[in-house]
Structure 1
Amino acid sequence: MPDDRNVALVLGVKGSPFYQALACGAKAEAKKLDLSLKVSAPEQFAADSQVPVVNAVRAQNPAVAAVVPTDAQALVPPVRQLTQAGTRVVTVDQTLSNTKLPESQVITSNVHGGELAADKLAKELGER
């Protein structure tokens, strides 16, 4: 049975500024909520590097795991095993080919982000 206070975050790769920022925000929120957060990441952004990390997280039996899947197909089996062990899974930044497997997904809209960036740039340039 998963411990409700233990949560996990599996990043796409170690050392990425984007994923470091994600981990920083997750740690701050976990502290506010009095949760024990374990952040893990593979050395490379590759399924063969990430699958063992996800399997190690499963062994820790977290209540919730947020996972950045490095491969939409290859991460389905380990994520399925996580859910079968009772861990609630949320995918972050990337999706799985089986979109029904995670309970939720956190995905940004790059189109909307581009629109916001263009609007800001236009304002900074004086909308010529």
Structure 2
Amino acid sequence: MSGNGKVPTSGGHGLGQNPFGALNASGLPVGPSPVPPGAQPTDARPAPMAKNRGRVDIVRETGGRGGKTVTVVKGFVGIGALEKEQLAKKMRAACGCGGTVKEGQIELQGDKREQVAKILADAGFRPVFAGG
């Protein structure tokens, strides 16, 4: 370095040794061909949704809720809490209302039975309007 206090930017000295220089690619599998972003590969198919994942009941309740109407979806069989949370989130977004998963049931604010039935049917469930 010269006495003027400047750091040289000419690239300096090389590293001297490439740790991967002795490796060869023989015997390694060929990588996948690049796919443009947003395009589906021709051999990839979306996983088919189960045709019938069981019956679920859609009930409109007002009792014990201060006169407010609540749509309750119950009767899920073989579905975990995480998937119930995801379904509830999708229902809340589609219906534009609040809701929660409580005691294995999905509860939504308001009478949203028609919208909920469509979402459940799209998810592979067989929605049934139960109660009055």
Give the TM interval when normalised to the shorter protein: under 0.3
TM-score (norm 1): 0.24
The structure whose RCO (Cα within 8 Å, separation 6+) is larger is 2
TM-score (norm 2): 0.24
Structure 1 or 2: more helix by fraction: 1
